[in-house]
Structure 1
Amino acid sequence: MRRQRNQTAVSLMVIAALAMGGCSSGVDSSNKEAAPQATADQSVSKDGFPIVQEPVKLSMFTRIAPVNGPFKDMPVFQDYEKLSNVQVEFTEAPTDGFQEKKNLLFASNELPDVMYRSGITPLEAVRYGSGGQLIPLEDLIRDYAPNFNKLMDEYPEIRAGITTPEGHIYAIPGIVSLSAARTDKKWINQAWLKKLNLKVPETTDELYDVLVAFRDQDPNGNGQKDELPLTARVGLSVATMMSGSFGLDQQFGYNVNLKDDKVEIWMGSERNKEMLMYLNKLYAAKLLDQEVFSHTEAQFLAKQGSGLTGMFFDQTNNNFLPISDQYIGIAPPAGPHGDRMQSQTSPIPRDFGAYAITSVNKYPEISMRWIDYFYSDEGSTLLRFGREGEHYELKDGIPYYKPEYSTSETQPKITPYAGGGAPHLISEHVASYINPPQVQEAQKALDPYMPEIRYAAPMFDEATAQKVNMLRNDIDKYYEEQSTKFIAGALSFDKWDEFQSTLQKMNLEELQQIYQEAYDKMEK
């Protein structure tokens, strides 16, 4: 590759919003360079606490998940107000209908000071930043965010992933430095393997044979054919989980391979056909969950903990803890051409647009200092775990929830992390809940097969982003519909040429060229 490996490991951030919604309010774009400054009597401490000597109030618009309690009752915000001298008033919008409420804020220009856990998409960041409703953050980060700045220096892909083509940063993401928090592990029922005297499968052919044994040989010993050999999250998740065994990567947050500096969208490739044929073979033999295209997330999670499932994919072991000793994490099985890759993994900058400062904010420096605390181990511990002694205990310097706060009912009441998307650092220090020893071992099985570089999706300018969204809306819908039919046997592989031809008519090559040009610019 043109770039030396010891140079910046550039990663471009996710173009997350197909639902881009909203319209520009027509605010003068000249506003974006002149954010209001803190007044003299509200000078901002660049380090230490409090951030300001006299209390300052900030309004924040946020998404609240169904599992969460009110943010004002969470210990992190109660305690941080005392520490920082910054009072936060949250306007909480439920997940259902959140995008519409966010669109309305920008369309009406009735903005809060800060968009917190609001999922500002790359397209929205460019649109509302160039329109003057979101302010550029790069100088504020440099001067008032030492923790976030340090992370950008350590992981240069963060800066690349949040910087617009014009050189501005309008929103900052959550950061996941822990690799185990960016992968779905391949969990297999080791108790069943031992019962049937089987080895861990090393190839896709061996995996097929193991799944047949799970189906036919009564590994749970109850005399009934109630075993479920393989399941996955709804939709094409199972294809993503298996794609690395067929040499198919997931670069740029999409179905993309990179080889010799060439971008290939592989949806119509022969390798993809081989993968879909393999999954069809599993489905036809009832080795793959017959509900994999219809079950809910809750039903999938219940299957993990049922004791009746042979293999599934998930990031952590939270959902099968009572029977966790039955499972181990395994390496990707080698495919028919010897490919053995962990293709599904998220980049270090995650949850794009987790925090943005609007043009009505009178205290942008204070707002940046306020959020920067959560990109330290100390701040992220407070955000995720609450108060030491009350909500968590330290063991060897690592915080662990007390039993009464480790449940899926109680935890979301004390932290905005539950429900996803909160701006903070997920490091090894604060990941005891999602990275216990069993998960660490499962990650070790994947580590040799992880990609050297994980490119996230390009942050295009608005016109290009609109074009990409238009192309992908049609292509992705068609690909998912047809792939589902191929796997389920509702569409014969005799129709593969027609499938390929339709993808070409949908301008797949044009989409591929856009990604190629973005990659070429990045590599200069």
Structure 2
Amino acid sequence: MKIIMPLTLSAVLMGAVLAGCSSGTSTGGEKTEAPQADKKYKLTYLNQNFDKTVKDSYAVKYVQQKFNVEVEQLPRSKDNFKDELLLKVASGEIPDVWVDLGFPEYEKLVNQGAVAEIPQELIEKNAPRYWAWLKKHLGDDPLKLYRRDGKNYSMPIIQTLGPDRTVVSLRKDWLDNVGITKNPETLEEFEDAMRKFRNNDPDKNGKKDTYGWTGQAAGVKDIFSPVFGAFGVFPGTFTDKNGKIIRGEIEPGAKQALTLLNKWYKEELIDPEFVLNKGPNVDDKVISSKVGIVTGSWYQFIQRAAFFDGKYYEKLRANVPNASWLLTAGPKGPDGQQGTVQLNPIASSGGQFGKHMEKDKGKMAKYLQVADATAFDAETFENIVYGEKGKTYKKGDKGDYIYLPPYDKEEEQIKFGIGQQYTFVGKSFNDYEFQTPYMTLNEMMPIRRANEHIGKGKYDILQPIQIPAYNENIDTLDQMTLKYFIDMITGQRPVSDFDKYVEEWKKAGGSKVMEEAQKKYEENFKK
């Protein structure tokens, strides 16, 4: 599925576009810039939660009536969406619209002629609230990083939580249990807390079965990133240092971090299974009180009613009712630096239209109008997610949105046909300020506000930029980095081998990657 013959694909695409054989292809060939008032368009959406949708749902019927459209929700794979979409395109079945491809795939499909141009004026006219949101977060030219040869092919999707989403959290009740009264701030204070979490029976079960800090090694960014951040480096990311692009894994600060992690590993302060851990393993160890420090999203450590998730807070308290968390930006290093690898707010290539949609700008405009309303219009959002006021939900005295029985149960919401699972492109444009009344109980707002901007650190500023040398070499470079870092932390090889690793990294394509990354940085950010 990943091996596609360019000439064959180009021929298929050209045939698909000219013959109109694509899924959802307009046969009228209209080139209008606005929807035709007397035309009922059919809008088709790929839905990764299709199994939770129902035919003739309240949400779909509401959108159909409000916008005079026909809506079809189609199943989309959760795990193999990228390959699934590329296969559809290769066979000529180009969907009307899709979201969340990575930039390498975006680049590939644009180059292959599978993606429609989306004129900026069309977005401004038909999705004005969306356009204002983009400008608020991306500046006056929010399409800058999406244009190719002067043309825009994307509806950007930005994750405004990304730049400060990740925090380092400590079990506050464990700190109390081991007699630590000052909140840990420095590396030394974190080390002291970990030592006591390991040796002083913080869970009071009479056994030495706890560790200080757990994590995983699924990728370069995952390996105890806040410890590297304390030395001012962020492995696995391109960051700016005085106008020069650097990679944290080959900076001198990484050697200092590895030296400290090796010390902690020898003393059994960090979870020795971090090498094997995956996400579910980490969750299990946190929720079963086997570790006292973990890195995660800030909203995992507070009540779900305060914002979105609440995983570590609520599942942990089900086992330990008095459990509590102390959220931090991470330990401070010798020079006062701290932070962890964060997420670029431009997390994906956004949303795109299939090439055939260029023939029908009226239909494209209708998609944009629906997207704008489903993301930024309260009435539309409430009808899709909450349903019929007085029947499926009510507004509480404090303005909270409350599902009425039996619709307070997810299975009843599914039967009625309401909820977050209904996809209309705009549901991917998460304006969390707009969504605040729907995500946070009024009485929980102080908790949310106290925790939502604790995180610090840096993110990969070149994530949206196509860097061919990076795409060609990154798998080899990352595997080399993981092997060296794990071996140095666990003592399989001395940390003094770090300089050898850097030289090998550069020779294995790293030098070419850095040279090209610097060039792309100057082209896109220093004009």
Q: TM-score range by the shorter chain?
A: 0.7 to 0.9
Q: Kindly state the Cα deviation for residue 78 of structure 1 after the two structures are TM-superposed.
A: 4.1
- Contact 1:75–1:414 under 8 Å retained in 2: no
Query: Does the aligned pair in 2 maintain the 1:392–1:400 contact within 8 Å?
Result: yes
State how far apart, in whole Å, the 2-side matches of 1:474 and 1:329 are. 35
Change (3 A) 1:304 1:513: same
Q: In structure 2, how many angstroms separate the alpha carbons of the residues matched to 1:458 and 1:42? A: 29
Q: Report the residue type matching 1:128 in the other structure.
A: L
The answer as to 2:98 corresponding to 1:92 is no
Q: Which residue of 1 aligns with 2:336?
A: 338
> Match of 1:472, as an amino acid?
I
TM-superposed deviation, 1:470:
0.3
Q: Describe the shift of the 1:369–1:427 C-alpha distance in structure 2 as closer, same or farther (beyond 3 A).
A: same
Contact map agreement 1:58 1:89 (CA 8 A) in 2: yes
CA distance in 2, matches of 1:515, 1:487: 29
1:505 corresponds to which of 498, 504, 507: 507
Matches within 5 A, 1:4-15: none
Q: Distance in 2 between matches of 1:346 and 1:483?
A: 22
C-alpha change, 1:177 and 1:256, in structure 2 (3 Å) is closer
Which residue in 2 is equivalent to 1:430?
435
Amino acid at match of 1:445: I
Shift in Å, 1:358: 0.9
Structure 2 unaligned spans of 5+: 19-24, 301-309, 318-322
* SS of residue matched to 1:94: coil
8 Å contact kept, 2:215–2:277: no
**What's the CA shift string for 1:20-53, capped at 9, x where partnerless?**
7656531459x89xx97885999638xxxxxx55
State which of 93, 101, 105 in structure 2 corresponds to 1:120.
101
- The Cα offsets for residues 265-295 of structure 1, whole Å up to 9 and x where unpaired, read as 2322221111122222222222222222223
- Does 1:243 find its partner at 2:225? no
Name the counterpart of 1:6: none
Q: Report the secondary structure of 2:461's partner residue.
A: coil
Q: Where does residue 520 of structure 1 map in the other structure? A: 522
The answer on whether the counterparts of 2:374 and 2:426 sit within 8 Å (CA) in structure 1 is no
2:162–2:344: 8 Å Cα contact kept in structure 1? no
- Residue 169 (structure 2) pairs with residue 187 (structure 1): yes
Q: Is the 8 A contact 1:215 1:227 kept in 2?
A: yes
TM, length-normalised to structure 1? 0.79
- Give the aligned partner of residue 356 of structure 1: 352
Q: Which residue of 2 aligns with 1:370?
A: 370
The alpha-carbon deviation at position 62 of structure 1 amounts to 4.2
Residues 470/398 of structure 1: CA separation in 2 closer, same or farther (3 Å cut): farther
Give the match's secondary structure for 1:111. Answer: coil
Matched-pair contact (CA < 8 Å) for 1:176–1:427: no
Deviation at 1:190, TM superposition (A): 0.8
Instruction: State the shift of 1:488 in Å.
Output: 2.5
Q: SS in structure 1 opposite 2:356?
A: coil
Q: Distance in 2 between matches of 1:128 and 1:480?
A: 31
1:311 and 2:293 aligned: yes
Q: Deviations over 1:325-371 (max 9, x none)?
A: 5112123211133312x342223333433x21112234222122222
What do the CA deviations read for 1:49-93 (whole angstroms, capped 9, x no partner)?
Answer: xxx55532123334448xx52375765434322322222223313
Runs (5+) with no aligned partner, structure 1: 1-18, 46-51
Alignment partner, residue 260 of structure 1: 242
Moved more, 407-416 or 311-320: 407-416
Is the 8 Å Cα contact of residues 82 and 101 (structure 2) preserved in structure 1?
no
Of 154, 163, 184, the residue aligned with 2:136 is 154
Alignment match, 1:320? 312
Whole-Å separation in 2 of the counterparts to 1:133 and 1:282: 51
Matches within 5 A, 1:60-75: 60-64=45-49, 69-70=52-53
The answer as to whether partners of 2:344 and 2:463 remain within 8 angstroms in 1 is no
- 3-state SS of paired residue (2:147): coil
Measured after TM superposition, the shift of residue 169 of structure 1 is 2.5
1:410 & 1:297 partners in 2: Cα distance?
30
Which residue identity does 2:292 align to in structure 1?
G
In structure 1, the residue matched to 2:127 is 145
Asked which structure has the greater CA Rg, the reply is 2
Out of 292, 295, 316, which is 2:274 matched to? 292
Selected match of 2:452 from 439, 443, 454: 443
Shift of 1:421: 11
Deviation digits for residues 283-313 of structure 1 (CA, Å, limit 9, x no counterpart): 2222222222223322322333224431112
Partner of 1:210: 193
The 1:258–1:232 alpha-carbon spacing in structure 2 relative to 1, beyond 3 Å, is same
What is aligned with 2:461?
A: 455
Q: Offset of 1:170 from its aligned partner?
A: 1.7
- Matches of 1:417 and 1:201, distance apart in 2: 44
Match of 1:132 in 2: 113
Are positions 1:485 and 2:491 aligned together?
Answer: no
Q: Distance in 1 between matches of 2:387 and 2:33?
A: 28
CA distance in 1, matches of 2:408, 2:325: 21
With the length of structure 2 as denominator, give the TM-score of the two structures.
Answer: 0.79
